[in-house]
Amino acid sequence: MKAEFTAIIEAAPEGGYWAICPEVPGANGQGETIQEAKNSLRQAIELILEDRRADIFRGLPEDAIQEKVLVG
């Protein structure tokens, strides 16, 4: 699944950069370069969304219908 998220990137006082994603609470990253911070943030977003999805599916009854929905 592909999706676009916003990366807010700022220089860190101690050097390097940190990044957050306002659409995914708790998602943040850091790195020596902007690209490293973005990659770190991407990994955090992926982990958070995978964990949320797993939580949702654990609670579904076995006979629940699951179908894909395309957006945008």
Q: What is the per-residue pLDDT across 44-62, written as a single tens digit (0 to 9) for each?
A: 999 999 999 999 889 899 8
Question: How many C-alpha atoms does 65 have within 13 Å on its Cβ side?
Answer: 3
Residue 41 CB neighbour total at 10 angstroms: 25
The one-character DSSP state at 24 is S
pTM above 0.85, yes or no: no
Q: Which tokens in the block code for residue 65?
A: 């219908």
What is the CB neighbour count within 10 angstroms for residue 20? Answer: 19
Those residues of the chain that have pLDDT short of 70 are 1
Strand positions, DSSP E, 12-69? 17-20, 28-31
Q: What is the DSSP letter of 14?
A: T
* Domain limits, the chain: 8-58
